[in-house]
Amino acid sequence: MSTQYIPHTEDDIRQMLETVGLSSLEQLFESIPEAVRLKRPLDVPSPLAETALLREMKRLADTNATAESHVSFLGGGAYNHFIPSVVDHLISRSEFYTAYTPYQPEISQGTLQAIFEFQTMICQLTGMDVANASMYDGASACAEAVLMAVRATRRRRVLVSQALHPDYRETIRTYCRYLNVELVDVPFDATGGTSLEHLRPLLGKDVAAVIAGYPNFFGVIEDLAVLGEEAHAAGARLIAAIQEPLSLGLLKSPGELGADIVIGEGQSFGIPLSFGGPYLGFFACRQQDVRSMPGRLVGETVDLEGRRGYVLTLSTREQHIRREKATSNICSNQGLCALMATVYLALLGKSGVREVAVQNFSKARYAREKIAALPGVSLPFSGQVFNEFVVSVPGKAHSVLEKLEQQGILGGVALAPFYDGMTDRFLVCVTEQNTRDEIDAFVNALAGGL
């Protein structure tokens, strides 16, 4: 029974068994004791041919609301951005996507050079000295940043802004669960940014790091420079978490503002929404911390004949060599997602990243002003935002979002599941994908639902 993915004919099998010196396929599994064998067929659905498979997959896909079937103002850590056709075209080169980790550099130079370019562009965007080859996502990169700060400072207290993405905060808690790291929440203030008033008394000689979003979960642009000064005065690291990296096209780089570790989510750089993953964690830091970084690094070198080439390097930090003493247990990176981001950034380049950022910022400003003018609506936070902002509709957030849904509009992310006392609020995101007409229709529908 040869199939499209399994080439063996009955003749092949007979001949191969003969070479092996066995008379049946069952004998191949003799080392598995009878008692632990499965004695019935697996209870999974019968096989589907390609046409039937695609029909079933389309059935499942067609029931989901998408940024194509609906007008979407959803953000909150995943963003609906324009992806040039070139991105998918290039990452579909199977020399890229059917390869694995570049363990053999002589036949992996494509992957290695692309990662080197990725590392470079992350440094350019964040203003940092070094970036790794990528991590699973923004949330896990954030947790790894906390662990690195703890290693580097030998301190065990970490101050976490409550305005940091809730999934990132939960992931940090999970990673630190059994590592004797004390996580202290720092409240936000009326600007929607981290409260300095609450931060200052918490800072002491036992603090390894302060973490804040830039922009944070409420879309607010934190005052990183001040957070950095406060953290550094106590000898702590400042970790900036970037959940919307296109903001870096417009905002001062975290490196320039004094961040010591910059991590983030790279999904905005050409990676499809895909219901939450796979995405792209990026991780950048100062030169001083390079040897305590987690994850893979690609470095430049030369071959026997002096030609430039790239290799995985500084791997004595990693689990396959250091085992339980490694800087992280991470083994893979997000290779193909990092490639998507590299292609995206190459296409947009210096002017494009700025232009997309300006469009996001301008459209969000336009929507925010129109929404703020509606009676019965308020904007609870006063801080400057990039492309998303919090809206408050007392007593009605749930019903307003439902009414919008009925008109084909995904109006925002309700904040009630993430914060106590935020039943009135939702988070609205506007990107370059939203036209002025869509925004106007959204504002009208919102007004009608109040």
CB of 235 to another protein, least distance (A): 25
- Span interacting with another protein, options 4-12, 187-195, 229-237, 388-396, rule CB under 8 A: 4-12
CB of 197 to another protein, least distance (A): 21
Residue position matching structure tokens 């970036």:
131
131 binds another protein (CB under 8 A): yes
196 binds another protein (CB under 8 A): no
CB of 270 to another protein, least distance (A): 10
Torsion angle of C-alpha atoms 225, 226, 228, 232, degrees rounded to 10 = 140
CB of 390 to another protein, least distance (A): 14
Residue 152's nearest CA partner among 242, 225, 261, 256 is: 261
Residue 135's nearest CA partner among 263, 327, 273 is: 263
Q: Nearer Cβ to another protein, position 203 or 239?
A: 239
Buried b / exposed e along 366-390 (16+ C-beta atoms within 10 A): bbbebbeeeeebebebebbbbbbbb
CB of 243 to another protein, least distance (A): 9
387 binds another protein (CB under 8 A): no
Residue 80's nearest CA partner among 264, 349, 356 is: 356
154 binds another protein (CB under 8 A): no
| Calpha distance 156→207 (Å, rounded) | 7
Q: Among 25, 196, 233, 450, which residue interacts with another protein (rule: CB under 8 A)?
A: 25
435 binds another protein (CB under 8 A): yes
420 binds another protein (CB under 8 A): no
422 binds another protein (CB under 8 A): no
Dihedral sign for Cα atoms in the order 45, 51, 56, 61: positive
Residue 379's nearest CA partner among 423, 420, 412, 426 is: 426
298 binds another protein (CB under 8 A): yes
CA 193 to chain centre: 21
Q: Among 153, 161, 171, 431, which residue interacts with another protein (rule: CB under 8 A)?
A: 171
CB of 125 closer than 8 Å to CB of 253: yes
362 binds another protein (CB under 8 A): yes
Q: Among 197, 200, 205, 339, which residue interacts with another protein (rule: CB under 8 A)?
A: 339
Q: Among 163, 164, 175, 268, which residue interacts with another protein (rule: CB under 8 A)?
A: 175
| Calpha distance 319→317 (Å, rounded) | 7
Which 68-107 positions form the footprint of another protein (CB under 8 A)?
68, 70, 72, 74-78, 80, 82, 84, 86, 88-90, 92-107
- Using a 10 angstrom Cβ sphere, with 0-12 exposed, 13-18 middle and 19 or more buried, the burial of residue 109 is middle
- Span interacting with another protein, options 152-160, 164-172, 202-210, 441-449, rule CB under 8 A: 164-172
Neighbours of 147 (CB within 10 A): 21
How many chain residues are in contact with another protein, going by CB under 8 A?
Answer: 202
16 binds another protein (CB under 8 A): yes
273 binds another protein (CB under 8 A): yes
- Span interacting with another protein, options 38-46, 151-159, 199-207, 229-237, rule CB under 8 A: 38-46
DSSP letter for each residue of 316-333 = GGSHHHHGGGSS------
CB of 23 to another protein, least distance (A): 13
CB of 230 to another protein, least distance (A): 18
Angle at which helices 109-126 and 335-372 cross, to 10°: 30
318 binds another protein (CB under 8 A): yes
365 binds another protein (CB under 8 A): yes
Running DSSP on this structure, what letter comes out for residue 45?
Answer: P
Tokens of 118: 């990725």
Which 250-269 positions form the footprint of another protein (CB under 8 A)?
250-253, 256, 265
Q: Among 151, 156, 162, 173, which residue interacts with another protein (rule: CB under 8 A)?
A: 173
- Using a 10 angstrom Cβ sphere, with 0-12 exposed, 13-18 middle and 19 or more buried, the burial of residue 308 is exposed
397 binds another protein (CB under 8 A): no
DSSP letter for each residue of 112-173 = HHHHHHHHHHHHHHHT-SEE-S-BS-HHHHHHHHHHHHHHHHT--EEEEETTS-HHHHHHHH
Residue 88's nearest CA partner among 272, 276, 350 is: 272
406 binds another protein (CB under 8 A): no
Q: Among 10, 320, 375, 420, which residue interacts with another protein (rule: CB under 8 A)?
A: 320
Neighbours of 84 (CB within 10 A): 14
Q: Among 23, 301, 399, 444, which residue interacts with another protein (rule: CB under 8 A)?
A: 301
Tokens of 306: 């002096």
441 binds another protein (CB under 8 A): no
CB of 32 to another protein, least distance (A): 5
450 binds another protein (CB under 8 A): no
Running DSSP on this structure, what letter comes out for residue 382?
Answer: -
184 binds another protein (CB under 8 A): no
Q: Among 190, 196, 233, 331, which residue interacts with another protein (rule: CB under 8 A)?
A: 331
